[in-house]
Structure 1
């Protein structure tokens, strides 16, 4: 009797245990289905960044992790950033200094101030002064002004000029003008030209105009043009317009186009641009003119561009005219011609150019061509561009060809392009494919890192689980991208620019 009761009791207890363990398992499954706890995930991501910022075996990742911790103003990172600043590695020292400036606070400022006398690299030294300025300490700025007079070291002059522009040191304008006008080395002249644009003092405009017209070095003329664009105004615009018409350096003239866009100029040279485009015989000149007409918004050039698109024999110029028409809101007029080049031209360079243009337009015939070229194209560059075009189009029918390219293409650049394109697809549609690539042991580290980055930039809350899991990846770059992704998903902090150095 007693034994029966004990046995019955044991059976009841056993059934209760089974139910209890089953309930625990069910709760665990539900927790996993919902994803990791956001606070725990964020804490793990910070720990991951701390570990990466301590690991000197991957200096590229180490510096980026340090920058992210500074941007997050993570107080526990102070000692680590101080150590990185004093590590002796130039890139890590530069990024750690920037991170300390982002972190802020009296201790970060003291660390920078105390270490400054021992910094020998002129660019790191200048960065420390800039960071101290951002923290409210301008005591070291006179050292930069003194460095402008150092005739023995052009890099010291260049770094000082750049830093003085960043800190807004108006009192240095006369020194910067002197550097731009008289320095024998083009590196300080270029840095002075950029700095004068940041300071935006009107006295610098005639000097920048002279540098654009007369300096023998292309890099200095480009710096002067970009600074004039920041000033804007009738005089600066007229100088930029004049330079575009009369300069002969192709790269400089190409740079002048966005400068004129920024300065809201270009209208005065529309007739000259149309004449340049209409002249036959010089493909480079005509293509450059077409680009300028499109980007500067000359609607009056539309008939001319359409005529060339239909009748000209120069395929390079026709593609340039097509792109200009697209910029001017005349996409239907150019799609058929550019698509025909993509489909039928036997020259890879023309096909590549056509693919670059069409990638920006959600055109159904182009989408179908991109799918075909991604699957069967012989040139990997064109396959990669086709993947990009499919992603930008955003049509769900592109998911399957992109997934197949990611799994099967023999060229890693094409697979990377497919990952980037999947990141451009509508929210949720590509998450599973990207998560699989991120977790895939048969994928390269570059593919896994690209997948983590694509999931991060989508800002998709449902991507938290695969990103959290990737914090344990074997590759440092993958862990960095995963940590940044977890932080963005859990806290809404976009750290895309946090790993961009001031350098």
Structure 2
């Protein structure tokens, strides 16, 4: 017997009565019935366990009567990211409800981003279904999600369609298509969009266009690495939006020439720290391409001159002839402030060729002058770290740690200086410094040992074999894993017993250990490693399975793929955060207030909220700062390799990475923990790949001012207004 819904029955009775009485009044529409809470809880449980519920989850995605349940089931399939669910995901693209079609399009894009690449047949099926859906879809939001999904897919057919939409669609869709092509160029290389016309992207840069369109056009032009893009990039250097200017500056790094240095030099003074940082980084890239007199180095030398004048309390050269008030001095702290500090950090991170050494020396002299006159401890600490960063760039030129041994005005601990220098030296050419790195393998500080292993891997020498074997057998599993990888590079057969013992521990430890150990097994055991790696294919942790599949593919020369394995019932799930949960990060430079996305990412938000309430972040540093990209913290080790001792599952949301988005750092699928990052600028290539679970609502100026080593004094859990 068909059941009559009581609300609908009541609505019909009232309407009939109104008609009979001759008085028709507007009747409020009936509220939709509440979602089935029990079903939604089951979907959450299956998602957390990476389970399909013996087919029930797939069935709900296709046949649940409530569109909200179908949509939620498709979101779970997007996060589980199993190629076996491709068919129901693609079927969702034909759902009657736009909400469901949007989630199906998002899930299709997530499958295209799978940590284990899809097979050709699966890619073809995705392309055909997405293009068919794009040909009939009329809902604007769903169309934009389809654009993103086709960009993530990146097949030739998808690229052709995106180029057509960039040329023919309206402003919003054309801009999204341009951005999708730019993301493809950034993640898979410029060759993936080599045949795409740049004229539509150039049209998006017109001054009368909305900032979103200008940004998308600049993003594509900055990532294609074509000289033909230079005229448009030169025009957009004066754009009113800082993010557009920064992208246009960035585009010169691969295709610019000496004639561009003078214009870029002016942007070193940009009031936006991310624009100034990109100008410094780009000039350093142009300097590396010089073979004779170098205008890029001249531009950076001018930066050093200005820095010296500021450090000595003098007006900049361009202000010569302007009489300053009596006794007035330029604040030396401006050298450490975000505007200058991030430019100097970007320059140091990029490095300069040997003939650019005088620039680095001049900048260090300016910092030393500024440090002597600085009024605050915060400024002095920043100046000390920037000095060490520049010193490490000088050491990279010579290939051996030398300048870092005495940098930082006595304010930077020895272990931190050595770790920095060794990491930079690992990027240098030649064998200089190899024996220094070997000696550092026995340093008492784990950070130094870890970076010494990087240096030894970059320039292997026989003297490293014995200390590397010792580290494989040590208690620090992060260092032991890196040592195993280094033993593989050294081809040290004597290290195999230690590597095998370490491999046995992969099954009982977080999945980060699997990658370096798998590489060592393949290098040292060859075909004999296959049985163990096939055992890993059944590991509950997705990243261990992924690593095993990749290693077996290299080992056998044939495509090996892991299968989905449901997590055990006792898998960690943190307590939920309150509905309006926020976190306040206290630093010496000010507070950063974050709103957590509790509704869309309950697991990730609850995890960070719970860690904050336990005091887990108090005293932890921001260990990684890349200007115009991210500031990353939350690692109790302080070297980028630590976590809380467990992993949480990825919770991909449809929140885009804009300026101030909070994301979860990963080492592979479902490897989140305690490390998080704040974005300095939009980062669309991170969308759908790393869990975005919050936003900075105040304190972005503090985020802009952060340098590596800045300490989180305290994190307070707060309730924010709606």
Q: TM-score, normalised to structure 2's length?
A: 0.46
The reply on whether 1:484 has 2:550 as its aligned counterpart is yes
Give the Å deviation of 1:109: 4.6
Q: Which has the larger radius of gyration?
A: 1
Q: Which has the higher contact order (CA 8 A, sep 6+)?
A: 1
1:240 to 256, 264, 267: 264
1:329 to 398, 401, 408: 398
User: Is this contact kept in 2: 1:359–1:390, CA < 8 A?
Assistant: no
RMSD: 4.7
Q: Which has the higher strand share?
A: 2
1:249 match: 272
1:191 to 213, 216, 226: 216
1:224 match: 248
1:94 to 102, 109, 114: 109
Structure 2: how far apart are the matches of 1:273 and 1:365?
A: 33
2:453 match: 390
1:464 to 503, 516, 530: 530
Q: 1:322 to 1:291 in 2, by over 3 A?
A: farther
Cα-to-partner distance string for 1:285-312 (whole Å, 9 max, x where unaligned): 5895597488232526449739968x95
Matches within 5 A, 1:295-374: 295-297=351-353, 299=355, 301-302=357-358, 305=361, 312=368, 315-329=384-398, 331=400, 333-334=402-403, 336-337=405-406, 347=412, 351-361=415-425, 362=433, 364=435, 367-369=438-440, 371-374=442-445
Structure 2: how far apart are the matches of 1:256 and 1:318?
A: 20
Give the secondary structure class of the aligned counterpart of 1:331: coil
Structure 2: how far apart are the matches of 1:473 and 1:452?
A: 15
Structure 2: how far apart are the matches of 1:233 and 1:494?
A: 45
Structure 1: how far apart are the matches of 2:153 and 2:233?
A: 28
1:19 match: none
Q: 1:465 to 1:236 in 2, by over 3 A?
A: farther
The reply on whether 1:449 has 2:475 as its aligned counterpart is no
Q: 1:159 to 1:466 in 2, by over 3 A?
A: same
Q: 1:422 to 1:221 in 2, by over 3 A?
A: farther
The reply on whether 1:260 has 2:283 as its aligned counterpart is yes
2:147 match: 125
2:481 match: 419
Cα-to-partner distance string for 1:294-350 (whole Å, 9 max, x where unaligned): 8232526449739968x9585435423421322332736526436xx7xx96755x7
User: Is this contact kept in 2: 1:159–1:191, CA < 8 A?
Assistant: yes
Structure 1: how far apart are the matches of 2:400 and 2:143?
A: 51
Identify unmatched segments of 5+ residues in structure 2: 1-51, 59-74, 93-102, 185-192, 291-295, 312-331, 372-383, 426-432, 458-463, 562-667, 670-684, 689-722
User: Is this contact kept in 2: 1:198–1:227, CA < 8 A?
Assistant: yes
Structure 2: how far apart are the matches of 1:445 and 1:401?
A: 22
How many residue pairs are counted as aligned between the two chains? 407
Identify unmatched segments of 5+ residues in structure 1: 1-50, 67-78, 151-155, 375-382, 410-414
Q: Which has the higher helix share?
A: 1
Structure 2: how far apart are the matches of 1:303 and 1:502?
A: 38
Give the Å deviation of 1:485: 0.9
